[in-house]
Chain A
C-alpha cells in the first residue's frame, strides 16, 4: 500500500515538475503571431491583386491556414501551389480556373500623353507603384509594379496598358533539359524503326 502511495506521489511530483517546465517554456519561447500564416504569406507572390477573392495576399494566407484551397492564386501559379502543397503537406492541385489563369509577368505602362492626371490609378495601386499628382502626368515605377491589373479598370481614359515583361539576356534562365523519356526512342534500334513506321 505504501509503495502504491509512494509511486503515485512520485508520479504526481514528476508531472508537476514537467508541467512547470512546459509552462515556462511556453512563455519563454512564445512565438508571436501565427507562424503558419507567415509561412504561407511568404510563399504567396504578394501581387496583392485580389484574384483569389481576398483583399490581398495575407488574407488569403489566413484563409488557407483556415482550410481554403491552395489553388486560388493565379499570379503565383503552379510554382506557388507546389510550394504551398509542400509546406502544408497536401496534394498539389492545378490552378482553379475560376480565379484566373496564370499569365506571364506583366507591368502596367501608362500612355503618358493620354493621362489626364485624375489620380484614380494611384488610389487603386496596392503598392504605390504609380507616381503622379492631380492634373499632372502619371507614370508607373516599373520596378515596383506587381502587375496586379488593378489600376487599369479605374482609368477613365483607358491609357494604362499591361505590358508583358520580356526576358532580357540578364533575366534569362537556362531551360531544363528534356529529360530521359523524350529521347529514349533514339537509342534502341528497334524503337527507332517503330518511330519511323509511325
Chain B
C-alpha cells in the first residue's frame, strides 16, 4: 500500500474537535421504541409512495414504500410490527414542519422478512445491481441523501479517474463514521469493492482525517491483509475537508468547476456509511433500515454512537443516552457547523441523520448579536470555496439576487466557516441560505408563471379560433339565406332588376377580384361584338363565324365569372341582371311582352265594342277591367324589357325578326287605334256613357302606336308592306334591315348601359367618362344613315306588296284575335305558374282571377280557330307563302311557339281531364274535344314548322 499524495484547499478553519466524548463508550444498541416514525421523504427527490395500509402487519426489512419517479427511493420496515398510521408528523427539518410519515408500532419480535442477497453481483449485469440497490433503499448517507443508484449512473457519463470514499468526517462532535469504520471495517471494504466493480475507477481512495488513528489503523490492517489496491489517504484535520469538493481537491488537486458535479471531471465520491449499506444489501439482502448516529453533547450523561433504527424518535435516543433536560439548551440535528436546531425531540432519525447534538448553553451559546461588516476580509480567507462572503452578504441583504448569483452564491457549501471567523458575528450562512431559497423560489415561480402564461395564451388563441369559426359559420348561413332569398326573388324580378343593391360582401376581396375579372371579360366581349358588327357590315362570312364563336365563348366565360361572383357576393344582382347570354331570352321575352301588350289592347277594344253593342252586359265590363289591368302589366313589362333591349350579338335572323316584330306591333297598334276610333265614333253616335273611357283608350292606343312608330322610326309606315318586298330587292333590303337592327340594338344597348349606370348611382361625369355615351352617339349616327338608305327602297317596294285591302283587313282581324286569345292563355298560364312558384297553394291560385281567365281565353281561342281554319285557310296560306322568304326564320319561330303552346295546352287539358274524372261526363267530353283540337293544332304547327325549316335550309344554301 502506497501513501496517497495529499494536496490542500483554500481556507478552512480549525474549530474545537469535541470528538472524544462520543467515543468513550462502545457502539450502543438502543431498545425498540414504542413507535417508529418513517417519513416518506428521507432523501432528495420525490417522496416515496406508501405500499402499506393502516393496520398492515409488516416484517423487518419488508418494503413499505416504493420509489416515486427517477429521483426517489424505497423504504423498508426497520422492525416487524403493525402500521398504525400514515399521517403528518414533525420531521427533522430546519423548517420545523411536518411531513407525511408511516407510523410503525413494533411487535417486539423483530422478525426478519425473507432476505434475498444478490450473490451473483459480480457476474450479473450492472444495471440489475443498480436496480437492486435502489430497491434496497440505499441513499447517500453523508449529507443530502442523494439516491445512490442515480449517483452511480451519473458516474458512467465519463470514465472515472478516482473513486473517493469520504471518511473525513470533519465536523466537530461527529464520530459516527469513525465508529462505523472501526466496527464494520470488512463490510466497508467489501462494499467499496462492489461499488468499484460497478464504476470501474482508475483509483480507489479512502479519504480520512488524521484525527481517527484507530480507524486508519484498522483499515490499513485489513487492506494489507486483502492485498487490496484501495488506498487510504490521511488528510490533515481541517474543517471542512469532508466537503465533497474540498476532499476531491485534497486528494486529486482538481477543482470541480462552478455549477458542475464531480462526475463531470471523472470523480465519484461515496460516504462510508453508504458503502457499508451497499455491502449489507448485496451480501446479506438487508435493506437500509438502520444507521450509525452520534449522540453527543454535554447535556448527555453517556454520549455515544448508536446503531439506530430509522424512524426512532430522537427523544427515545436521548433517553437512552441519559440526557439531562435541565442542561439541554439546544438540540441540534447534525454538527455544530452545518446542523440545524430542532424545536422538538419527537422527530425521527432518518437515513441522513449522522449526529444529534444535545448542547448545553456553555457549549453552544446564543449567537452574539450581528453587527455591521467591518470588511476585515477574514471570511474570504476562511472560505473553502474561494468565494467573497462579504460581497455575497451585501447582495443577499439588498436582495440583489442576480449579482449574488454572479458571485457564485450557489458554489457556497454552507459550511459556516465564514460565520465562524466573522468578528462581527454576522450569520453569513443564514443570509446565503435565505438568498438561495429566494432565488429558487423565484425560479420556480417563473416556471409556473411561464406555464400559466402559456396556458392563458393557448386558451385565448383557442377561443379566438372558435369565435372566428362561429363567425364564419354565421356568415355562411347568412349568405345561404340571402342566396335563397335572391334565388326566389329572381323569377319575380324576371331578370329585369338592374338595381345595384349594395352588396354586403362588396368589400370582400374575392368578390372584388371576380368583379375585376368580370369587367375584363365584358370588355373583351364588347370588343368581340364590335368586331362582329364590323364583320357583319362588311359581310365577311368566315370572320363572322370565327368571331361569333369567340363571342359565345367569351360570353360563357363572363357568365361563369358572373356565376362565381354571384356566389361570392351575396348581393350582386346588378351583375346578374346584365349577363350577356341573357340577352337572347330577354329579347324573346321582350317580343312576347310586346305581343301581349298589343293583343291585350286589341282584345280590349273588341270587348269595348261588344260593350257598345250591349252596354248593360256586366260580364263584358268586368272582362274589360281585367284586360285593362293585363294591358297595364304587360306594358310595364314591355317598358322594363325595352330598357334591357336586344343585344348586338343577336343572330341575323333574330335581328330581322325583331324588326319585323316591331313593324307588326306598329301595325297592330295602328289597327287598334283605328278600331278604337271606330268604336268611339259608334259610341258617339249612340252617346254611350263609356265614351270617355273609350276616348281614354284611344289616346293610349295612339300613344302606343306613336311609340312603336318612333321605335321603328321612319320605316314604320312601310312596315306591313315591306313584308312582301320583291325578291329582287329582298337581299339588299335584308342587309339594310339587318344593319338597321344592329344599329338600333347598339343604341338600345348603349341606352340601357347608360340607364344602368344611372341606376347604380353613378353621376353624370362618370357616365360621360364611360364608353357608352360615345357608343350611343356612334350608333345613332349609323342608324340615321342606314335609315336614309332604307327609306327610298322601302317606299318603292311598298306599293308592290300591297294586298287587296278587304281581304287583308278581315284576315288581319282574325289573326289578331287569334293571337290575342293565345296571348291571353299564355299570360294566364304564366301567371298561374308564377303563383305556384311563389308558393301559393291551389286554393289561392283558384281564388285569383287567372284560372278563370285561362278558361275564357281558351274557349275563345277554340272558337277563333274554328273560324280561322275554315274560311281563311286559303288567304292565310297565301299570306304565308308570300311572306315566306323574308320571314322564314320568324315563321319557324312562330310555329315552334305554336307547337309548344299546343303541347302545353294538351298537357294541361289532359291534367284537367284527369282531375275532372269525378265531374260531369259532359265536362269530360268537352275537355276531350279540346284536347283533340289542340292536338290537331300541334300537328299543324309541326307540319308547318317542318316545311319552313326545310325551305329555310334551302334559302340558306342559296345564300
Q: Do A and B bind each other?
A: yes
Instruction: Give Cα A15–Cα B830 distance, bound, in whole angstroms.
Output: 84
Asked whether, in the complex, the Cβ of A46 is within 8 Å of the Cβ of B449, the reply is yes
In the complex, per-residue mask of A56-89: 1 if CB is within 8 Å of any chain B CB, else 0 = 1100000000000000000000000010000000
Asked if A177 and B427 make an inter-chain contact with CB atoms under 8 angstroms apart, the answer reads yes
Q: Is the CB of A169 within 8 A of B41?
A: yes
Q: State in angstroms the CA–CA spacing of A172 and B99 once bound together.
A: 12
Known: A180-B372, A184-B369. A173 touches B441 (CB 8 A): yes
Interface centre among A82, A173, A183 (most CB of B within 10 A): A173
**B458 in the interface, Cβ–Cβ < 8 Å?**
yes
Q: Can you list, as one digit per residue, whether each of A147-183 has a CB less than 8 Å from chain B (1) or not (0)?
A: 0000000000000000000011111111111111001
- Confirm or deny: A51 has a beta carbon within 8 angstroms of a beta carbon on chain B: no
> Taking the complex as formed, is B527 at the interface, i.e. its CB lies under 8 A from any CB of chain A?
no
Residues in chain A near residue B433, CB distance under 8 A? 174
In the complex, B53 has a CB within 8 A of chain A? no
> B370 to A169, Cβ gap below 8 A?
no
Contacts of A173 on B, CB cut-off 8 Å? 434, 437-438, 440-441
Q: Which label, helix, strand, loop or mixed, suits the secondary structure of the B interface?
A: helix
List residues of A (175-198) whose CB comes within 8 Å of B's CBs.
Answer: 175-180, 183-184, 186-187
Q: Is the C-beta of B445 less than 8 angstroms from some C-beta in chain A?
A: yes
Please state if B434 and A176 are interface contacts (CB–CB under 8 Å): yes
Chain A residue contacts of B434, Cβ below 8 A: 173-177
User: Is B202 positioned at the interface, with any CB of A under 8 Å from its CB?
Assistant: no
Shortest Cβ distance from residue B133 to the other chain A in the assembled complex, whole angstroms? 24
- How far, in Å, is B374 (CB) from chain A's closest CB? 12
Min CB distance, A101 to chain B, in Å? 19
Q: Which of B371, B397, B452, B459 contacts A146 (CB 8 A)?
A: B452
The answer, yes or no, to whether A139 is at the interface (CB within 8 Å) is no
Instruction: Evaluate whether A174 and B94 lie within 8 angstroms (CB atoms) in the complex, with A180-B372, A187-B368 already known.
Output: yes
B97 touches A46 (CB 8 A): no
Given A144-B452, A169-B41, A173-B438: A178 and B431 within 8 A (CB)? Answer: no
| A170 contact set on B, CB distance < 8 A | 41
Q: Kindly identify which residue among A46, A174, A183 contacts B456, using a CB–CB cutoff of 8 Å.
A: A46
Name the contact of B369 in the complex, choosing from A172, A174, A187 (C-beta under 8 A). A187
Give the residues from 415 to 445 in chain B that come closer than 8 angstroms, CB to CB, to chain A.
427, 430-431, 433-434, 436-438, 440-441, 445
Task: Looking at the assembled complex, report how far the CB atom of B135 sits from the nearest CB atom of chain A, in whole angstroms.
Answer: 24
Q: Which residues from 63 to 112 on chain B have a C-beta closer than 8 Å to any C-beta of chain A?
A: 91, 93-95, 97-99
* B455 cross-chain contacts in A, Cβ below 8 A: 127-129, 144
| Across-interface contacts of A46 in B (CB, < 8 A) | 448-450, 452-453, 456
Q: Which B residues lie within 8 Å of A44 (CB)?
A: 449
Interface residue total, chain B, C-beta cutoff 8 A: 36
Contact flags B935-946 to A (C-beta < 8 A → 1, else 0): 000000000000
Complex contact B456–A168 (CB within 8 A): no
Residues of A within 8 A of B451 (CB): 144
A91 to B804, CA, bound (A): 116
Complex contacts, A169 vs chain B, CB 8 Å: 41, 91, 93, 95, 97-99
Residue A119 at the B interface, CB < 8 A? no
**A186 contacts which chain B residues (CB < 8 A)?**
369
**B452 lies within 8 A of A184 (CB):** no
Residue of A nearest to B440 (CB): A173
Number of interface residues of A (CB under 8 A): 33
Which of B91, B94, B369, B445 contacts A45 (CB under 8 A)? Answer: B445
Interface contact B452-A168, CB-CB below 8 Å: no
B453 neighbours in A (Cβ, 8 Å): 41, 46, 57
Bitwise interface map of A from 85 to 105 toward B, beta carbon under 8 Å scored 1, else 0: 000000000000000000000
- Specify which chain A residues have a CB less than 8 angstroms from the CB of B440 in the assembled complex: 173
> What CA separation (Å) do A132 and B456 show in the bound complex?
18
Chain B residues contacting A183 (CB-CB under 8 Å) are: 369-370
The answer, among B41, B437, B448, B449, for a CB contact under 8 Å with A174, is B437
CA distance A185 to B451 in the complex (A): 47
In whole angstroms, how far apart are the Cα atoms of A21 and B399 in the complex?
Answer: 41
Partner among A48, A168, A174, A180 whose Cβ is within 8 Å of the Cβ of B371: A180
Q: Name B88's closest neighbour in chain A (CB-CB).
A: A168
A135 to B440, CA, bound (A): 41
> In the assembly, what is the distance between CA of A88 and CA of B370, in Å?
34
- A176's nearest neighbour on chain B, judged by CB, is B434
Residues of A within 8 A of B94 (CB): 172, 174
Complexed CA–CA distance, A41 and B370 (Å): 39
Q: How far is the CB of B940 from chain A (nearest CB, A)?
A: 74
Residues of A within 8 A of B427 (CB): 177
Which residues of B lie under 8 Å from residue A187 when comparing CB positions? 368-369, 371
How long is the Cα–Cα vector from A56 to B460 in the complex, in angstroms?
Answer: 11
A169 to B369, CA, bound (A): 28
In the complex, chain B residues whose CB is within 8 Å of the CB of A129: 455
Contacts of B430 in A (CB 8 A): 174-177
Is the beta-carbon distance between A127 and B459 smaller than 8 angstroms? yes
**In this complex, what residue of B is CB-closest to A126?**
B456
Give the chain B neighbours of A126 by CB distance below 8 A.
456, 459
Interfacial chain B residues near A184, Cβ < 8 Å = 369, 371
Fill in one digit per residue for B378-418: 1 if any A CB lies within 8 Å of its CB, else 0: 00000000000000000001010000000000000000000
Distance between A130 CB and nearest chain B CB, rounded to angstroms: 11
B95's closest neighbor in chain A, by CB? A172
Would A127 and B438 be within 8 Å (CB), given that A180-B372, A183-B369 are in contact?
Answer: no
B434 to chain A, nearest CB (A): 4
What residues of A have a CB within 8 angstroms of the CB of B99 in the complex? 168-169
B450 to chain A, nearest CB (A): 7
Give A187 to B459 CA distance when docked, in angstroms: 59
- Residues of B within 8 Å of A45, CB to CB, are 445, 449
Alpha-carbon gap, A94 to B24, bound state (A)? 60
Chain A contacts with B in 24-53, Cβ cutoff 8 A: 41, 44-48
Contact A47 B452 (CB under 8 A): yes
**A128 B458 Cβ-Cβ under 8 A:** yes
- Write the nearest CB–CB distance from A159 to chain B, whole angstroms: 23
Closest to B372 in A: A180
* Separation of A172 and B441 alpha carbons in the complex (Å): 9
A111 vs B849: C-alpha distance in the bound complex, in angstroms?
A: 74
User: Residue on B with the closest CB to A125?
Assistant: B459
CB of A191, distance to nearest CB on chain B (Å): 10
Q: Which residues of B contact A41 (CB under 8 A)?
A: 453
Interface string of A111-134 (1 = CB under 8 A from B): 000000000000000111100000
Determine the residue in chain B with the shortest Cβ distance to A173. Answer: B437
Q: Is the CB of B452 within 8 A of A179?
A: no
A2 and B713 CA atoms in complex are apart in Å by 87
Q: Which residue of A lies closest to B445 (CB)?
A: A45
Please indicate the chain B residues that have their CB under 8 angstroms from the CB of A175 in the complex. 430, 434
> In whole Å, how far is A112's beta carbon from the nearest beta carbon of chain B?
21
With A174-B437, A179-B370, A186-B369 already in contact, the answer to whether A127 and B452 are too (CB < 8 A) is yes
Residues of A within 8 A of B (CB): 41, 44-48, 56-57, 82, 126-129, 144, 146, 167-180, 183-184, 186-187
8 contacts between A and B (CB under 8 A): A41-B453, A46-B448, A48-B456, A167-B95, A169-B91, A174-B437, A177-B427, A183-B370
Which 5 pairs from chain A and chain B are nearest by CB? A173-B437, A183-B369, A46-B449, A172-B95, A174-B433
